[in-house]
Structure 1
Amino acid sequence: MSARELVVLGTASQVPTRHRNHNGYLLRWDGEGLLFDPGEGTQRQMLHAGVSSHDITRICVTHFHGDHCLGLPGVIQRINLDKVPYPVAVHYPASGEAFFERLRHASAFYETAELRPEPLTGEGGALKPTGRERTPFTLEAARLSHPVDSYGYRLVEPDGRRLLPQKLRAHGISGPDVGRLQREGRVGDVTLGDVSETRRGQRAAFIMDTRLCEGVHALAEGADLLVIEATFRDADEHLAEEHGHLTAAQAARVAAQAGVRTLVLTHFSQRYPDLEGHLDEARRHFDGEIVVAADLMRIPVPGRV
């Protein structure tokens, strides 16, 4: 199992189909599990995908339309049933506080686990760490453009350093001195910068229901993995604009402009039984890897370059 992968739990939009459940996406990241937009049926999809409640360390809700949040009651109650032993942060638009409270307490259950509601306000920004991160990263949120308050998310790993064996040899650094150099940044006159190069941190972005806006481009910038809605095709672009959504072509142009490596298209309208058209439209604008998401698919975060 990849330490960094997307587990797709559902890919439909407003109306599910026989082959597509409502939304749900788990991003595994070195022991942390970010569950995005648990729509109706997410708990059952987790069972099919081999995802446990103990895999979830954060829940991120983009907005309070039903296909993105009606699975919350089941997920929350499962977390309590399984007595998850650590706090689970829940991020969501603050304007939907009443919806969150109704979903959280939709029916009677024994509360054995700790949820930490962390509502989003304003333009978003960096979110508090959980304290469970095995490797450092920042989770950020940015406001999107939809008929109700909506936020997208992105995970940003800080840049590190990659040691260069030939430069280590040239400076006579070997054995225990290599570890000392990494810890202290200097051995004698040799600095870490003398024998290494920048190792760019990885990034993953999650963008659901929105028109094109500044937040879309900010979240997508430099993403190794971009998970983005592609509800409509170009012929229905007027519907996308009217209802606050993107077309496959728009999503692909965003990915191309942002330097994305792997583009994952999802959140498909039930009006399209065949998604080849989405793929064709995206290919005209983006020449990187394109994945047309399907339920229960597992998509690895691209390896470092």
Structure 2
Amino acid sequence: MRELIVLGTASQVPTRHRNHNGYLLRWDDEVILFDPGEGTQRQMLLAGQAVTPLKHICITHFHGDHSLGLPGILQRVSLDKVPHPVAVHYPAGGQEFYDRLRHATSYWDNAEIVPSPVGAGFAVETCAGRLTALPLRHSIEAYGYRLTEPDSRRILPALLVQHGIQGPAVGELQRAGRLGEVTLEQVSTVRPGQSFAFVMDTGLCDNVYALADGVDMLVIESTFLAEDAAMAAQVGHLTAGQAAAVARESGVRTLVLTHFSQRYQDPSRFLEEARTEFAGPVVIAEDLLRVPVPPRLLSQE
């Protein structure tokens, strides 16, 4: 199962219908939590999600709507005695804020929480693929994240027949990469790995495009509409149209817009603006919405 579970979609101020940020990515056996804002623990409960599968928590920056839920999540990890290490990735320059959130209150610390500051060249290997980060343009140090699954190979039955390979020999070929004179490359084609990008509070910059380049799913902030573009630029945010233009220029397959300012009452306006720039699938995020990652491409063609 590969899906995004949206836990919260508000920006600085939550509303009656939108909790502070929170995004859970389920990628087969890997579960990654992005930007747990205030109330994330309860939102996970409402979404039917436990903290036990969590292995990575990614913080883009230390504004409250993206990080105030971290203490509750870490305390729940400890309460549930999660048996494996849980890594927390966050901007290295925000170490002071991480330390405060990590021990915001007194509790029995029964879990292995691994601090993992993010800086230049950050990359970690997860069960789902390589997790990387790039700096963004905001009022404080902020990073966007990208998950990239390695390519694999897809066996082509017709080519197996041509080489007279069948039954258990197929598995042996896949494991060893060669069977006699026949190589795996001769009977298969490249199966591209999937990718996911998470871009929050930022103005337009080169790294926004680098993170979004060719991803299967882009989750990106669209705090403002075009009518407030000047304000967006001033405070380091994007409009729906700008986010959609990034998706178009970067070859994104599915676009998920979120982080909406409370000043707008009608979410359909974000979709209308995005549609002027991006013709592909656009999702206007709502709390507790589940968004499947698009089906895997069968080949590079």
Instruction: Tell me if TM exceeds 0.5.
Output: yes
Q: Which amino acid aligns with 1:11?
A: T
Aligned length: 297
Q: Does 1:116 align with 2:145?
A: no
Residue 143 of structure 1: which of 128, 132, 135 is its match? Answer: 135
SS of alignment partner, residue 55 of structure 1:
coil
- Separation in 2 of the partners of 1:288 and 1:195? 33
Q: Does 1:274 align with 2:266?
A: yes
Residue 152 of structure 1: which of 144, 147, 150 is its match? Answer: 144
Other-structure match for 1:175: 167
After the TM superposition, which segments of 4 or more aligned residues of structure 1 sit over 4 Å from their partners? none
Other-structure match for 1:15: 13
Other-structure match for 2:57: 59
SS of alignment partner, residue 227 of structure 1:
strand
Other-structure match for 1:255: 247
Q: Does 1:166 align with 2:163?
A: no
SS of alignment partner, residue 122 of structure 2:
strand
Q: Does 1:125 align with 2:122?
A: yes
Structure 1 residue 298 displacement after superposition: 0.6
Residue 72 of structure 1: which of 67, 70, 73 is its match? Answer: 70
Structure 1 residue 188 displacement after superposition: 2.2
- Separation in 1 of the partners of 2:119 and 2:221? 22
1:66-105 equivalence runs, <5 A: 66-105=64-103
Other-structure match for 1:29: 27
Structure 1 residue 55 displacement after superposition: 2.5
Other-structure match for 1:186: 178
Q: Which amino acid aligns with 1:219?
A: L
SS of alignment partner, residue 153 of structure 1:
strand
- Separation in 1 of the partners of 2:181 and 2:83? 48
TM-score (structure 2 length as normaliser): 0.97
Q: Which amino acid aligns with 1:52?
A: A
- Separation in 2 of the partners of 1:125 and 1:82? 29
Q: Which runs of 5+ in 1 are unaligned?
A: none
- Separation in 2 of the partners of 1:23 and 1:45? 10
Structure 1 residue 104 displacement after superposition: 1.0
Q: Which amino acid aligns with 1:9?
A: L
Other-structure match for 1:4: 2
- Separation in 2 of the partners of 1:201 and 1:47? 31
SS of alignment partner, residue 19 of structure 2:
coil
Q: Which amino acid aligns with 1:116?
A: V
SS of alignment partner, residue 54 of structure 1:
coil
Other-structure match for 1:210: 202
- Separation in 2 of the partners of 1:233 and 1:113? 42
- Separation in 2 of the partners of 1:200 and 1:259? 15
Q: Which amino acid aligns with 1:126?
A: A
Q: Percent identity?
A: 62
Q: Which amino acid aligns with 1:111?
A: D
Structure 1 residue 189 displacement after superposition: 2.1
Structure 1 residue 157 displacement after superposition: 0.3
- Separation in 2 of the partners of 1:186 and 1:56? 37
Root-mean-square deviation (Å):
1.0
Other-structure match for 1:284: 276
- Separation in 1 of the partners of 2:234 and 2:221? 15
